[in-house]
Amino acid sequence: QVQLVESGGGSVQAGGSLSVSCVASGFTYSYVNKRIVWFRQAPGKEREGVASIYTVSGNTAYADSVKGRFTISKDNAKNTVYLQMNSLKPEDTAMYYCAAGFRGGIWSSPQAYNYWGQGTQVTVSS
């Protein structure tokens, strides 16, 4: 059974930085090239894909809204994916989730994933 656990959210002022982590159990990052994705969902808004990484190849993809500010990375020894968020804006405020079990299609579509973590809150104040 795949389980994903996020941590590291918090509150920061605009322009600041935060890093969130996603630890996976039930599969090993270094054995199979799996896509792990960070999503976020703000109150009253749809869940949106933020950044994606493959666990073996390291190939990444980003939403336009975070390009140049967010960096997704992985540590296969720890079965962990990170999202480093710099130059944060109030509009980045959301619950951040990691997802796995990509079924194909558009990487940023929430419907494409089988497994989800419980989320970690990121709040950016102006």
- pLDDT tens digit sequence for 77-125: 999 999 999 999 999 999 999 999 999 999 999 999 999 999 999 999 9
- pLDDT tens digit sequence for 26-69: 876 666 778 999 999 999 999 999 999 999 899 999 999 999 99
- The set of residues, in sequence order, having a beta carbon less than 8 Å from that of 60 and lying 6+ positions away, is 51, 52, 53, 54, 72
Which carries the bigger pLDDT value, residue 74 or residue 1?
74
DSSP string, 58-113: --EEE-TTTTTTEEEEEEGGGTEEEEEE-S--GGG-EEEEEEEEE-SS-TT-GGGE
* Joined tokens for residue 110: 């929430």
- pLDDT tens digit sequence for 42-54: 999 999 999 999 9
